[in-house]
A and B are shown apart, each in its own frame.
Chain A
Amino acid sequence: MDGDLALLLNGIVSGLLLGGLYAAAAAGLAVSFGMLDIVNIAHPALMVAGGFLVVLVGTALGIDPLLAAVLLAVPFYVLGVAIYTFYHHFFERRGDEALQGLAFFFGVMFIIEVGLVMAFGPEQRFLDPPYAFVTWRIGEIDIPLRMLAPALLAMAAIGALWVFLRRSFTGLAISAVAQDAEALRLMAVDPVRIKRLAFGLSVALAAIAGGALVVVQPVEPSSGQVFIGRVFAVCIMGGMGSLPGCILAAFLFGVVENVTASFYGPSWSPAVAFGWLLLVLAVRPQGLFGKLA
C-alpha cells in the first residue's frame, strides 16, 4: 500500500477511536449544557479530576482503570448533585446564571485545576493496564487496545444513558425538562429534582471519561484546558442535547484532528479544535444535525 494512504487510513481509524474518548467527554456536556442549559465549563476539569482519582484508586486497589472509573461514577454522581444544588440555590433561582453562574463554574474549574496541582504536583500521572501495550493489526491498519477499550466503554456508557433517557419515566422527564420545565411541573414532576438527577449523571459521565482519558494518555492538571474547546465544539456540532449527534460529531472531530496531527504534527491539534469551534459557531450554530433553536 502507498505510504501516504496507509498513514491516512491509520489516521482515520485512530481518529475514530479517539472520537470515542471525545464522545465520552462531550456526552456529559450534552446532558448539562444541551439539555439542562447549564453552561458547565468545569466539565473538562471534572473529567481530569476523575482521571487523577482513577489513577489513585486503581493503584491503591490494583484494579483496571476502566473498572475504577465505573466505580468512581457513583461518588461523582453525588458530587454532581451537590454542585447542582449549590448552583440552583445561588444562581438559577435568582436568575443570575448568565454572569455570576458562569463565573461560578469558572471558579470551580479553576479550584479543581489548582487543587490538583497542589495535591499531585504539576507532573503527569499514568496508570497503564496490561492491554495498553497490545496492538491488533488488520492489514496495514493498527488498532491499539489502549484506544479501543476506552472507546468501547464510552459507547457502552452513552448507550446505557440513551436507553435510560428513552425508556424510563425519569429519563423522559429529563428530556422534557429541557423543553418545558413548567409543563413538567403541571404533571406533578419537580423540575429541580429532575435537573439535579440529570446533572449528577452528567458529572458521573465525567468520571467515566476521566478513566478513558487515563488509559489513552497520561493526565496532568492542565489537561482540561485543551479539552474545553474540543468538548464544546463536539457538543455544539452534535446539536447540543442529542446523544447520537454528539457521538457522530465526536467521531468526525477525532478523525479531523488526528489526520491533521499525523500530517502537520501533534502540537497543532488544539488549534484545530478552536478552528472547528469558531467555524461551527459562525456558520452553523445549530449544529450539524440540529434544527434551528
Chain B
Amino acid sequence: MSDASLPLAPAPAMAAGGRRHLPFWLGAVGVAVLVFVALRAIGNDYGYFAGYFILQYVVLATAWNILGGYAGYVNFGAAGFMAAGAYTAIALRKATGLDLLPGIAAAAVVGALLGLGTGYLTLRLRGVYFSIATLCLAVVLQTLVVNWDYVGGSRGAYIVRPREVAPFTSYGEYLFLVMLLLAVLAVGIARTVEVTRLGRGLQAIRDNERAAEAVGVPTLRLKLVATALCGALMAVAGAPLPYYSGYLNPEGAFSLAYAVNAIAMPLIGGAGTWAGPVIGAVLLGSLQQAATVTISSALNLFIVGWMLVIFVAVAPRGILGWFRRRR
C-alpha cells in the first residue's frame, strides 16, 4: 500500500512537537552524562551494579509502555522476551564468539520477530487473547530453554566476562554505560513514537479500536509495529544480563520479578507517557535495590505485587495522573 511508511513519519500537525526533539535529546544525554560522571566520582563498583539494575528496568518498563501504555494491549511476557534476549546473547557468543554489542543487536532482531509472531497470531482478536498468549509464551520459552542443552539447559550457562574493556576502569562500568545508552535510546524511541503518527494511531486504538478502524487507522499494522518494537526493546534489556551476572539459568532469566516489574513500573509511574515508566522504574527499582540488601527477595516481590494492585485500584493513572488532575 502507498501509505506503508506513513505511520512513522511525523504528522504536519505535530511540527511543533517535532521541533522539541532537539531539547529532549540534549536533556536526555545531559542527564545520562551527569549520572555517569557522578557515579565515576564515587568510583564504587556497587554504584554501577545498582545503576545497571535500575536502568535495565527503565528499558523494560519503557518497552512495555509502547504497547501497553499507548495502545492498551497488555504484554505479560516481559520475562520471556527478556530471557529470549539473554539467551540469544549466550547462543551467539557460544556459536561465533561475538560478545556484548553484537549480542544486543541480535537480541533486538529475535525479540522483534517473537513479538511479531505472537502479535500476528493473536492481535486480530480482542486484546485479552494477546495478553493470555504472552502469559503462556514465557512458560513455553522456558520449556524450550530448559530442553536446549546447547545453552546449558536447566543447569544454566556461564559467561566468562573480560576483566576490563580498554578505556574503562572496570567491566561493570562498561556494562553500566552500555545500559545507560540503551535506556536513553529506549526512552527516546518511546517519546518519538508518542509524538508521531504511530503514537496517535496507537492512542486511538486504545480509546476506541472500532472507531479508529472506521476512520482509516491501519490498526493491525500499527499494533504489529508496536509489538515488534516492544519485543525488541525487551530483548535488548535482557541481552547484557548474562554478562552482568556471569551466570544465567532459566530460573533466573525467566524470573517473575521481570514480569511483574515490567507492568508495575509503567502503571505506577503513569502509563501512556514516556516519562511515566522512567519515574516508575527509578522509584521501584531503587526501592527494590535498597530492599534486597535489607530484606528477602520474596518479601520484596510481595511488596511490588501489593503496590501494583493498590496503585491500579486507587490511582489508575499512576503518579503522573496525580499531577495532571491538580493542574
- Given A107-B309, A274-B140, the answer on whether A285 and B132 have CB atoms closer than 8 Å is no
Q: Whole-angstrom distance between the alpha carbons of A257 and B10 in the complex?
A: 49
| Nearest residue, chain A, Cβ from B309 | A107
- Given A86-B313, A90-B313, the answer on whether A114 and B298 have CB atoms closer than 8 Å is yes
B139 contacts A94, C-beta separation under 8 Å: no
Q: With a 10 A CB-CB cut-off, give which of A94, A111, A118, A268 has the most chain B CB atoms.
A: A111
Q: Whole-angstrom distance between the alpha carbons of A77 and B299 in the complex?
A: 27
A228 contacts B131, C-beta separation under 8 Å: no
A267 at the interface (CB under 8 A from B): yes
Which chain A residues numbered 254 to 289 have a C-beta less than 8 Å away from chain B? 267-268, 270-271, 273-275, 277-278, 281-282, 285
| Nearest residue, chain A, Cβ from B137 | A274
**Residue interface mask B293-327, A partner, CB < 8 A = 1:** 00000110110111011001110100000000000
- Given A115-B302, A229-B140, A274-B139, the answer on whether A39 and B260 have CB atoms closer than 8 Å is no
| Nearest residue, chain B, Cβ from A235 | B132
Q: With a 10 A CB-CB cut-off, give which of A96, A99, A229, A282 has the most chain B CB atoms.
A: A99
B308 contacts A103, C-beta separation under 8 Å: yes
| Nearest residue, chain B, Cβ from A279 | B121
- Which of A94, A113, A281 interacts with B133 by CB under 8 Å? A281
| Nearest residue, chain B, Cβ from A232 | B132
- Given A86-B313, A281-B125, the answer on whether A114 and B140 have CB atoms closer than 8 Å is no
Query: In terms of DSSP, what is the predominant structure of the interface of chain B?
Result: helix
B312 contacts A285, C-beta separation under 8 Å: no
| Nearest residue, chain B, Cβ from A117 | B298
Query: In terms of DSSP, what is the predominant structure of the interface of chain A?
Result: helix
- Which of B72, B132, B139, B309 interacts with A270 by CB under 8 Å? B139
| Nearest residue, chain A, Cβ from B144 | A271
Nearest Cβ on chain A to B204's Cβ, whole angstroms: 15
Q: Whole-angstrom distance between the alpha carbons of A278 and B278 in the complex?
A: 33
B271 contacts A281, C-beta separation under 8 Å: no
- Given A99-B72, A104-B312, A110-B308, the answer on whether A41 and B256 have CB atoms closer than 8 Å is no
B274 at the interface (CB under 8 A from A): no
For B68, list chain A residues within 8 Å (CB). 99
Q: Whole-angstrom distance between the alpha carbons of A45 and B136 in the complex?
A: 14
B292 at the interface (CB under 8 A from A): no
A267 contacts B302, C-beta separation under 8 Å: no
A267 contacts B298, C-beta separation under 8 Å: no
- Which of B133, B142, B305 interacts with A111 by CB under 8 Å? B305
Q: Whole-angstrom distance between the alpha carbons of A274 and B139 in the complex?
A: 8
For B143, list chain A residues within 8 Å (CB). 267-268, 270-271
B313 contacts A281, C-beta separation under 8 Å: no
A172 at the interface (CB under 8 A from B): no
Nearest Cβ on chain B to A227's Cβ, whole angstroms: 10
For B122, list chain A residues within 8 Å (CB). 278, 281-282
Nearest Cβ on chain B to A122's Cβ, whole angstroms: 9
B156 at the interface (CB under 8 A from A): no
Q: Whole-angstrom distance between the alpha carbons of A102 and B127 in the complex?
A: 10
Nearest Cβ on chain B to A108's Cβ, whole angstroms: 7
B312 contacts A103, C-beta separation under 8 Å: yes
**Residue interface mask B271-299, A partner, CB < 8 A = 1:** 10000000000000000000000000011
A271 contacts B140, C-beta separation under 8 Å: yes
For A91, list chain B residues within 8 Å (CB). 312-313
- Given A41-B135, A271-B144, the answer on whether A98 and B125 have CB atoms closer than 8 Å is no
For B39, list chain A residues within 8 Å (CB). none
A226 at the interface (CB under 8 A from B): yes
| Nearest residue, chain A, Cβ from B272 | A99
A85 at the interface (CB under 8 A from B): no
Report the 9 A-B pairs with minimum CB-CB distance, sorted nearest first.
A229-B136, A107-B309, A274-B140, A107-B308, A90-B313, A111-B305, A110-B305, A100-B312, A282-B121
Pairs A–B under 8 Å by Cβ, sample size 27: A39-B132, A98-B72, A100-B267, A103-B74, A103-B267, A103-B312, A104-B312, A106-B308, A107-B308, A111-B305, A111-B309, A114-B256, A115-B302, A117-B298, A226-B139, A228-B136, A229-B135, A232-B136, A267-B143, A267-B146, A271-B144, A273-B136, A277-B133, A278-B118, A278-B133, A285-B125, A285-B129
The interface of chain A, by Cβ under 8 A from chain B, is: 39, 41, 86, 90-91, 94, 96, 98-100, 102-104, 106-108, 110-111, 113-115, 117-118, 225-226, 228-229, 232, 236, 267-268, 270-271, 273-275, 277-278, 281-282, 285
Q: Other than the known A106-B260, A275-B140, what 11 A-B pairs have Cβ atoms closer than 8 Å?
A: A90-B314, A99-B74, A103-B263, A111-B305, A114-B298, A226-B139, A270-B139, A273-B140, A277-B132, A277-B136, A278-B133
